[in-house]
Amino acid sequence: IIKNDAMCMPWNLFFNEYNGVDFTKDDMVSVCSSLLNKRLEEGSTFSESLFSDDCSSILRMYLKSTEVEDPEESLQCPLSSLGLLAKSSKNKNAYIKTSPAKDTLHRLAVLYVIVSNLPREKQSVRINELVTGANNIGRVFNLNRVKVNEYLDQLKISGYLTINRTAGLDMVYLNDSITPADVLTKYYEEVRVR
């Protein structure tokens, strides 16, 4: 969803460019619509009301609600279980971007994002690119450098990649040529075994 900026521009802007902390929906809409205006070709416009609705959808999709009384009445999105957004403790009408708990984000989901962002001919990427690069794991999952390294270490232990942190290289090398579809297959095989 986040990577598809042609069809899901608000998602792309929110996760890749919006750095709001303790933000309200109005803050989010205002800043993200300004970012969108910078991307539009001269003379192009967009529906501000639809853009605002999309921002509301983002909040509903990723905000983990703990106040649902009857689970069968819940229309909560499955992505909310990642916990990428939370209510602010400072302002009841505000939100904060949060990292998922370790037990909610599978290491193969992280590998999937890494692999889908690599150009076909490349089998390596800088750790900094994983942390700060558009559509990459730092942005998509709100992971800081420490958490990115924790997931990389899990993937290294599982044999999917090698990490070179010597002499300032900070490079990640995939051990095998693997496609996003291969990662999905491995994920479903592993989850089925449990």
**194: pLDDT strictly greater than 70:** no
Pair 125, 114: CB distance under 8 Å: yes
pLDDT score at 67 = 45
Q: Is the dihedral of CA 99, 156, 184, 111 positive or negative?
A: positive
Q: Please give the distance of CA 148 from its chain centroid, rounded to a whole number.
A: 12
Q: Give tens-digit pLDDT for 59-106.
A: 999 997 654 445 555 567 888 989 999 999 998 899 999 999 888 999
pLDDT score at 74 = 58
The percent of residues above 70 in pLDDT, for the chain, comes to 93
Residue 98 structure tokens: 């949060």
Pair 64, 78: CB distance under 8 Å: no
pLDDT score at 68 = 44
Angle between helix axes 107-117 and 145-157 (nearest 10 degrees) is: 100
Average model confidence (pLDDT) across the chain: 90
Residue 67 per-residue DSSP state: -
The full 3-state SS of 109-153, as one line of letters, equals HHHHHHHHHCCCCCCEEEHHHHHHCCCCHHHHCCCCHHHHHHHHH
Pair 113, 136: CB distance under 8 Å: yes
Q: Give tens-digit pLDDT for 3-58.
A: 888 889 999 999 999 998 899 999 999 999 999 999 888 878 899 999 999 999 99
pLDDT score at 173 = 96
Best CA proximity match to 39, nearest among 62, 73, 13: 13
**187: pLDDT strictly greater than 90:** yes
The burial of 61, by beta-carbon neighbours within 10 Å (0-12 exposed, 13-18 middle, 19 or more buried), is given as middle
pLDDT range class, residue 184, cuts 50, 70, 90: very high
Residue 124 structure tokens: 């390596």
- Determine the Cα–Cα distance for residues 18 and 72; give it in Å rounded to an integer: 33
Helices (H) and strands (E) in the chain, counts: 8, 6
In this structure, the dihedral spanned by the alpha carbons of residues 104, 109, 114 and 118, taken in order and rounded to 10 degrees, is: -160
The full 3-state SS of 22-52, as one line of letters, equals CEEHHHHHHHHHHHHHHHCCCCCCCCHHHHH
For the residues 147-167, what does the mean pLDDT come to? 95
pLDDT score at 192 = 81
**111: pLDDT strictly greater than 90:** yes
